[in-house]
Structure 1
Amino acid sequence: MPPVHLTTAWDDPATRRAWTKLLIGAALGQILWPAAWLGLLAGYVALSITWTLWLFFVPLAYTFYRAFLQCAYWQGAFRARRLLRQYPWQVYETPESGVGNLPGVRDGCAWLKFPNPEAPDQRVTMVMHSHVRSLWWGGRLGRRARAERKAQVREIWFAGDPRFAAVIAVPAPRHLYVIHQRPSYDPGIPADSQGAGPRALELARRAGVRVPAPDAAGS
């Protein structure tokens, strides 16, 4: 049973355990990926044969990329915690979703639509802008996904506000992912109230989302 009766998703012990696994994964990646890169580099230097560069180039490039990417995993984990501490879980059965093929969505980007909290008849599109931890979702939300894969995302747990940011997961919860509108975390884009009322804006602000200042939102 999804813990929809709780005040916030964080009140659910299973949610806290899932987040702890998320954090542990980020910590292990911070250690293992740089270590793998250094090990491969040391192996290449030890061999000192020019042609072996082709054997090491792809693994070296990938491990360096993953080591560089680890800051995004840490960032995602702490953003998830702030959201989970403010919003309760909601459950949506087979929300409209896909990969690309939607105006304003880049090819290859997965997306879902959720009800606007203050206008339930309206649907708000949320796009998985970051590919960090999104491969699992993208492989199940697209039209070409096999039926057994689609079944894994039939029920979506949602904690947040689709106008700003949210944590989505599949039951248990598993595969936590922070999905958000670009202005919510990008300081290069002006914060947008998205038509939200004062209470929704204050809740989003407490969850760490960039929203307009109270005077700007009310003007």
Structure 2
Amino acid sequence: MSDEVSRNAFDDPGTLRAWQRARRRSITATTLWILSLPGFFVLETITWESLTGGSLPVYIMVLPILISAVGVGVSDSRRVQLKEMRRILAVYPWQDHPPLKNATPADINYLKLPDPDDRAKYISVVVRRYGLTGKHWRSALSNARTRGFMFAGDPRFAAVVALRGVDELGMARPTHVLAPARGARPDGVSEPAWLRARAAGISGESAFSEEELRQLESEGK
């Protein structure tokens, strides 16, 4: 990431490269998981026939199918997450956040980001990144809490967090979600902030228009 704050995060070439790299990894992982299924089948067939001399029973393939399905689901979830990140990064600029004080291991998955309409107020968010778990992820978040990090977005709705020292992008969501009523701006959210959240697709509004919602209600759906 460049030191200069850009108009939006995607204006920074480093951000674009990091996002594209993450997307390639997600697509590659999904492809490999899909291809793993015939690989499991061939391996188990050869092993079974060499041990028993008979044909491979169908039930033996249940576990490999489940493993492949979970792998595809996780990697594809990351692809969907990256798609949402792209909209946020195309609307919001990066903001530097200083180290967090009084951080404890118990809340290692949580960060606090400033309210865009009241910089003295902080919003608690939980950070997630599909495909990166365990010690690596905990270490990355711990590093961010103690050394600072960058974020783009509105923590009242959703934000993208870039962990310094780790070339990874994580999705941050508030622990208390705002629930706008059919296009109505939530209390405490300014008009500019609301318009920006809508432009980024993170406002939480229904995908249906008022007319479409009325039609669905009349049909009992």
Q: TM-score range by the shorter chain?
A: 0.7 to 0.9
Alignment of 1:167-186 (within 5 A): 167-171=160-164, 174-181=167-174
Q: By how many angstroms is 1:212 displaced?
A: 4.9
Please tell me whether the aligned partners of residues 127 and 180 of structure 1 are also in contact (alpha carbons under 8 angstroms).
yes
User: Residue 140 and residue 24 in structure 1: after superposition, are their counterparts in 2 closer, same or farther (change >3 A)?
Assistant: closer
Please tell me whether the aligned partners of residues 83 and 159 of structure 1 are also in contact (alpha carbons under 8 angstroms).
yes
Aligned to 1:91: 96
The answer to which of 18-27 and 153-162 deviates more is 153-162
- Give the one of 139, 143, 154 matched to 2:147: 154
Aligned to 1:132: 130
Q: By how many angstroms is 1:66 displaced?
A: 1.1
User: Residue 133 and residue 166 in structure 1: after superposition, are their counterparts in 2 closer, same or farther (change >3 A)?
Assistant: farther
User: Residue 112 and residue 133 in structure 1: after superposition, are their counterparts in 2 closer, same or farther (change >3 A)?
Assistant: farther
Q: By how many angstroms is 1:64 displaced?
A: 3.1
Please tell me whether the aligned partners of residues 183 and 191 of structure 1 are also in contact (alpha carbons under 8 angstroms).
no
* 2:27 corresponds to 1:34: no
Q: By how many angstroms is 1:18 displaced?
A: 0.7
Distance in 1 between residues matched to 2:85 and 2:3, nearest whole Å:
17
**CA offsets, 1:89-136, max 9 Å, x none?**
1111223555645xxxxxxx71101111111111100013x5514524
Distance in 2 between residues matched to 1:173 and 1:201, nearest whole Å:
31
User: Residue 119 and residue 152 in structure 1: after superposition, are their counterparts in 2 closer, same or farther (change >3 A)?
Assistant: closer
User: Residue 34 and residue 191 in structure 1: after superposition, are their counterparts in 2 closer, same or farther (change >3 A)?
Assistant: farther
Please tell me whether the aligned partners of residues 140 and 166 of structure 2 are also in contact (alpha carbons under 8 angstroms).
no
Distance in 1 between residues matched to 2:105 and 2:201, nearest whole Å:
27
Q: By how many angstroms is 1:160 displaced?
A: 0.7
Aligned to 2:203: 210
Identity of aligned residues (%): 25
Distance in 2 between residues matched to 1:153 and 1:118, nearest whole Å:
25
User: Residue 14 and residue 115 in structure 1: after superposition, are their counterparts in 2 closer, same or farther (change >3 A)?
Assistant: same
Aligned to 2:73: 68
Aligned to 1:216: none
Distance in 2 between residues matched to 1:19 and 1:197, nearest whole Å:
29
Alignment of 1:92-111 (within 5 A): 92-95=97-100, 100-101=106-107, 110-111=109-110
Q: By how many angstroms is 1:58 displaced?
A: 7.2
- TM-score norm. by structure 1 comes to 0.72
* 2:84 corresponds to 1:79: yes
What are structure 2's unaligned runs of at least 5 residues?
Answer: 207-221
What are structure 1's unaligned runs of at least 5 residues?
Answer: 102-108, 143-149, 214-219
Q: By how many angstroms is 1:204 displaced?
A: 0.7
Q: By how many angstroms is 1:28 displaced?
A: 0.4
- TM-score norm. by structure 2 comes to 0.72
